[in-house]
Each structure stands twice: as structure tokens, then as C-alpha cells.
């Protein structure tokens, strides 16, 4: 975890990280995540991986970047309250990164009607 924190600090300070080092670290992160290490460590690695450029996240216009949540009945929250999803929807496989959110803002995503459901646009 020390290496993750050191690389994260370098990124925050704007230091250039050689691509060979960044590439090797990406692979170490992916291997550790696949090995299902403890959740707090996976979270740290995932955040650092996102800052270095997560190779799992490609073009968000690619349908493979999403999974479909089918319509149906689900249990929600700590109290397992039943909810009904009326229409299937797509959910991103990975959390939105700061750079993706920035691109959305720059592309006027908040004022482009086609990207929103009725509820979201309201």
C-alpha cells in the first residue's frame, strides 16, 4: 500500500511517472483486485488505478462499458426494503472518474437533454 500512496502523492504533486512504472503498477493493482484482497486495500488500489488511468475503462460510448440492470423486484438498502424497477437500465461497470466527469461538464452534459431521463432532467 505504501507504493500506491507514493504514486498517488506523485500524481497529486504533478510529478511525471514513467509509463513503464505506471504500467507495471496498473498490472499489480489489477492482480490484487482480482485476488480479492481486503476491501480497504482494494479501494485504495482502485482509486490509485483510476488516477493512473484504469485500463478496464475504455470509451464510455462502447456498450461493453455497461451492464444491464433488468426490470424486476429488488431488495434495497440495509433494511432490505423491496423496490420495483419498472424499466431496465444500463449501469457503468466502474465508478465515474473525475476526468470523465470533467469531460461530461466540458461537453455541456448538464444542459444536453438527450442524456437525461424525465426525472433526471427535472
In a domain, 103, yes or no: no
pTM over 0.85: no
How many CB atoms sit inside 10 A of residue 29's CB? 24
Task: Write out pLDDT tens, residues 88-111.
Answer: 999 988 877 777 788 889 999 999
Range picked from 36-50, 54-68, 70-84, 103-117 for highest mean pLDDT: 70-84
Q: What are phi and psi of 47, to 5 degrees?
A: -65, -45
Cβ atoms 15, 52 nearer than 8 A: no
Considering the domain architecture, whether residues 12 and 43 belong to the same structural domain is answered as: yes
> What pLDDT, on a 0 to 100 scale, did the predictor assign at position 1?
62
Residues spanned by the domain of 83: 67-92
In a domain, 120, yes or no: no
- Cell numbers for 105, please give them: 461538464
Considering the domain architecture, whether residues 17 and 45 belong to the same structural domain is answered as: yes
In a domain, 110, yes or no: no
User: In this predicted structure, which of 23-27, 66-70, 85-89, 98-102 has the lowest mean pLDDT?
Assistant: 98-102
How many domains are there within the chain?
2
In a domain, 114, yes or no: no
Task: Write out pLDDT tens, residues 1-21.
Answer: 666 777 778 877 888 888 888
Q: Report how far Cα 108 is from the mean position of its chain's Cα atoms.
A: 20
Q: What are phi and psi of 76, to 5 degrees?
A: -130, 140
Considering the domain architecture, whether residues 14 and 39 belong to the same structural domain is answered as: yes
In a domain, 104, yes or no: no
Amino acid at each position: 500500500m505504501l507504493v500506491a500512496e507514493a504514486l498517488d502523492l506523485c500524481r497529486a504533486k504533478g510529478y511525471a511517472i514513467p509509463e513503464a512504472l505506471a504500467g507495471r503498477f496498473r498490472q499489480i493493482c489489477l492482480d490484487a483486485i482480482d485476488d480479492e484482497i481486503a476491501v480497504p486495500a482494494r479501494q485504495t488500489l482502485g482509486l490509485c488505478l483510476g488516477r493512473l488511468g484504469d485500463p478496464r475503462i475504455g470509451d464510455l460510448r462502447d456498450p461493453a462499458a455497461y451492464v444491464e440492470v433488468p426490470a424486476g423486484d429488488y431488495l434495497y438498502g440495509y433494511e432490505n426494503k423491496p423496490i420495483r424497477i419498472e424499466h431496465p437500465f444500463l449501469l457503468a461497470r466502474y465508478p465515474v472518474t473525475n476526468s470523465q466527469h470533467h469531460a461530461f461538464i466540458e461537453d455541456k452534459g448538464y444542459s444536453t437533454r438527450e442524456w437525461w431521463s424525465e426525472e433526471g432532467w427535472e
